[in-house]
Structure 1
Amino acid sequence: MNDLGVHALVWTGDWTPEGARTAAARSREAGYDLVEISLHDPELVDVKDTRQVLADHGLRVACSRGLSFDSDVSSDDPDTAARGEALLRQALRITHDLGGDYFGGVLYSALGKYGRPATARGREHAVRALRRLAAEADGLGVTLGLEVVNRYETNVVNTARQCLDLIDEIGADNVLVHLDTYHMNIEEQDFSRPVRACGDRLGYVHIGESHRGYLGSGTIDFPAFFHALADIGYQGPITFESFSSAVVAPGLSHDLAVWRNLWSEGPDLAAHARSYMAAQIKAAHARTAA
Structure 2
Amino acid sequence: MATNPLGVHALVWVGDTSPAGVTTAVGRTAEAGYDLLEFSLHDSLNLDVVAARDQLEAAGLQVACSRGLAFDADVSSEDPEVVERGAVLLQDSLRVTRELGGTHFTGALYSALGKYGHQLSPAGRANVVAVLKNLAAEAGGHGMTLGLEICNRYETNVINTAADALRLADDIGADNVLIHLDTYHMNIEESDLVRPVYEVGDRLGYVHIGENHRGYLGSGHLDFGAFFHALADIGYTGPITFESFSSAVVAQGLSNDLAIWRNLWTDGMDLATHARVYMETMLSAARS
TM-score normalised by L of structure 1: 0.98
SS in 1 for 2:151: coil
Of 203, 206, 213, which aligns to 1:204?
206
Alignment length, in residue pairs?
286
SS in 2 for 1:166: helix
1:84 maps to: 86
Cα distance in 2 for partners of 1:248, 1:192 equals: 30
Tell me the CA shift for residue 250 of structure 1: 2.6
Of 34, 37, 46, which aligns to 2:36?
34
Tell me the CA shift for residue 246 of structure 1: 1.0
Tell me the CA shift for residue 219 of structure 1: 1.2
Task: Give 1:110's aligned amino acid.
Answer: A
Of 272, 275, 280, which aligns to 2:274?
272
2:26 maps to: 24
1:215 maps to: 217
Aligned: 1:170 with 2:165 = no
Tell me the CA shift for residue 16 of structure 1: 1.0
Tell me the CA shift for residue 41 of structure 1: 1.4
Indicate the percent of aligned positions where both proteins have the same amino acid.
66
Aligned: 1:253 with 2:255 = yes
Task: Give 1:194's aligned amino acid.
Answer: P
Tell me the CA shift for residue 79 of structure 1: 1.0
Aligned: 1:160 with 2:162 = yes
Tell me the CA shift for residue 109 of structure 1: 0.7
C-alpha RMSD of matched pairs (Å): 0.6
Task: Give 1:78's aligned amino acid.
Answer: P
1:95-135 CA distances to partner (integer Å, 9 max, x unpaired)?
00110000000001110000010000000001000000000
Segments ≥4 residues shifted beyond 3 Å: none
2:17 maps to: 15
SS in 2 for 1:279: helix
Tell me the CA shift for residue 42 of structure 1: 1.3
SS in 1 for 2:260: coil
Cα distance in 2 for partners of 1:252, 1:96 equals: 24
Query: What are the equivalent positions in structure 2 for 1:14-163 lying under 5 Å apart?
Result: 14-163=16-165
Give unpaired runs (5+ residues) of structure 2: none
Cα distance in 2 for partners of 1:162, 1:201 equals: 14
1:238 maps to: 240
1:120-168 CA distances to partner (integer Å, 9 max, x unpaired)?
0000001000000000001111100000000000001000110000000
Cα distance in 2 for partners of 1:120, 1:145 equals: 22
1:26-70 CA distances to partner (integer Å, 9 max, x unpaired)?
111111000000000111110110011101111000000110111
1:284 maps to: 286
Tell me the CA shift for residue 17 of structure 1: 1.2
Give unpaired runs (5+ residues) of structure 1: none
1:240-275 CA distances to partner (integer Å, 9 max, x unpaired)?
000001102233221101110000000000000000
